[in-house]
Amino acid sequence: RFFNILDESPWLDADQSTTRSLTKHSHHLFSICVYSDTMLFAGSVCVILRWTKHGDHWRSDSKMLLERRNPDKAATAAATAAGAGGRQPRGEAPNVWALEAVRSQRLLVSGDSVGNVSLWDTTSCTLLTTFTNRQGGHQGLVNALAVSADESIIYTAGVDQRIGLLAYLPQQKNHAIALPSAVDETLPSPEDWRSAGGLYPHSHDVTCLAVAKHGALASGSHDWHVNIYPKARSQQSLQRFVTLGHLPEHAARHVHVGSGEGFTLLQY
């Protein structure tokens, strides 16, 4: 749904505040990313939906499908032992819990319930690369994503208490980059995004991230703490942070950082 936030009066009535609703999806929607004035994305079960604006109308014109996680060996063995009547398990359907954009490279970043962090081309809706648990992703659900002001670092956070860094580290190549035909090969290669380590600064799930224009990173957790990292440019710099005092229960569930150097907003 779209809301008119410029006119304060409609907010007094929830029914009047909605200016437009898009076509209802058949499953839950867990995340949303407004990529531009004419394009937005929403994460659901096993899929990311794209809407684009044509004139005065918004249309759902493309989908990005996520693969199901392979079922565990015990479930597969049980189905095989049951013979022809045994139904093979389909595997876990990932929910897309977080979305962010790297607009300078036309990338959409997704984090899902399996722990994968994936990069997608926003024009062709093509999967470019995925960081699994062993490659810089997470053990379990990815709760939040954030992108640095210069769009050279992607911050990730999950239920494994970890804050991860994916850094854009371009290298000169002597051969052509093998990209899908629909992707503009003049853009940076997704191969130049690499895991730059991570840190476990919280004692519970890291539920939210926010980045200020001057470079500071903030993280909130179910451990009731908000951490402020003044210069979050590397794994080493993440080790230097300021922890706000013990907050009321669930106070650190949502956090926003203002553009000024001394402003942090908590939502609870």
User: Over the stretch 65-104, which tens digit does the pLDDT of each residue have?
Assistant: 988 766 555 444 544 455 544 444 456 789 999 999 999 9
Measured CA to CA in angstroms, residue 87 lies from 71, 77, 93 at distances of: 12, 11, 17
Structure tokens at 167: 């850094």
pLDDT at 34: 93
Sorting pLDDT into bands at 50, 70 and 90, what band is 233? confident
Please give the pLDDT value at position 194.
Answer: 93
Percent of the chain with pLDDT over 70: 68
Tell me, what's the pLDDT at 178? 46
CA 15 to chain centre: 30
Amino acid at 94: P
136-188 confidence digits (pLDDT tens): 899 999 999 999 989 999 999 999 999 999 999 887 554 444 444 444 555 66
- Non-local (6+) Cβ contacts of 121 within 8 A are 106, 107, 108, 128, 180, 182, 183
